[in-house]
Structure 1
Amino acid sequence: MYVRIFAAVWLLVCALLAVVAWGFQAPFSYDPVGPRAYPLLLLFLMATAAIWLIYKPGDVEELPISWSLARKVAIFVIALFAYGLLFEPLGFVVSTTLVGFGLGMLFKGRLLPSLASGLLMGALLYGLFDYLLDVPLPLGLLAFLEN
């Protein structure tokens, strides 16, 4: 019951955010699809998942939800919020490394693999976006590396 109520509320939130995202306009055209494509795609995927949770056949109420899982989800949301706040001051690579490492440790990853995966994720995604897709990302603390 609660899962379906949450999914219905989330579907409504997705619809409202889609209305907001539809109005995204760039002052100049730097991207052929414009700034609204990415948020609309994510909202579409989330809305599809919410619809699936509402109409899924079978017993959805048997999901193994515990207080420790709820605490991890809350910490996960706080980490993503902090990631959004620290994205520009620390830069993409550092903030992505920190959030990747932190989330790896949150879900009981080992120290070195979590650190390595966070660092690789930050560096490789920066290279993908900045060099291959030509999407400029902030360097933040690593700005001294820029030419």
Structure 2
Amino acid sequence: MYVRLFAAVWLLVCAFLAVVAWGFQAPFTYDPVGPRAYPLLLLTLMAAAALWLLCKPASEPTLPISWVLARKVALCVAALLAYAMLFEPLGFVLSTALAGFSLGLLFNGRVLLSAVSGLLMGVLLYGFFDYLLDVPLPLGVFEAFVGN
């Protein structure tokens, strides 16, 4: 029952956010698809998942939410909020590396492997977005090392 209630509320939230995202306009054209494509794509995927949760057969028993799971969800949300807050000041590479590291540890990863994967994710995604897709990303603390 709680899953269907959550799915219904989340579907309404997705619809509201889609209306907000539809109005995104850029003062100048820097991207061929515009600023609304990415949020609308994510909202469509989330709405599809919410519809599936809402309409799936209830033949499977639902497990009660444990405190361990609730703690992990809260820490995951806190890590993603910290990522959003640190994105501009620290830059894409460092904030993505820290988020990847902390989420790796949260899901029981080893310290060294979480650090390496977080760093690789930050550097490789920066290269992918900045050099291949031409999407400018903030450098943050590395801005002093790059002369433009």
Q: Say if 1:3 and 1:61, in contact at 8 Å, map to a contact too.
A: no
The sequence identity of aligned pairs, in percent, is: 73
Q: Which residue of 2 aligns with 1:57?
A: 57
Return the offset for 1:59. Answer: 3.3
**Separation in structure 2 between the aligned mates of residue 142 and residue 14 of structure 1, nearest angstrom:** 35
Amino acid at match of 2:145: L
TM-score of the superposed pair, with normalisation by structure 2:
0.96
**Separation in structure 2 between the aligned mates of residue 64 and residue 140 of structure 1, nearest angstrom:** 42
Aligned alpha-carbon RMSD (Å): 1.1
Q: Which residue of 1 aligns with 2:7?
A: 7
**Separation in structure 2 between the aligned mates of residue 32 and residue 125 of structure 1, nearest angstrom:** 20
Compared CA separation, residues 61 and 25, structure 1 to 2 (3 A): farther
Return the offset for 1:58. Answer: 3.4
Q: Which residue of 2 aligns with 1:127?
A: 127
Runs of 4+ displaced beyond 3 Å:
58-61
Q: Say if 1:4 and 1:53, in contact at 8 Å, map to a contact too.
A: yes
Instruction: Give the secondary structure class of the aligned counterpart of 1:82.
Output: helix
Residues 1-147 of structure 1 aligned to structure 2 (within 5 Å):
1-59=1-59, 61-63=61-63, 65-147=65-147
Deviations 1:71-108 (A, max 9, x none): 10111011111111110000000000001000101111
Instruction: Give the secondary structure class of the aligned counterpart of 1:24.
Output: coil
Amino acid at match of 1:97: A
Deviations 1:52-80 (A, max 9, x none): 00001133542463110111011101111
The runs of 5 or more residues in structure 2 that have no matched partner are none
The runs of 5 or more residues in structure 1 that have no matched partner are none
Q: Say if 1:11 and 1:50, in contact at 8 Å, map to a contact too.
A: yes
**Separation in structure 2 between the aligned mates of residue 54 and residue 63 of structure 1, nearest angstrom:** 16
State how many pairs are aligned. Answer: 147
TM-score of the superposed pair, with normalisation by structure 1:
0.96
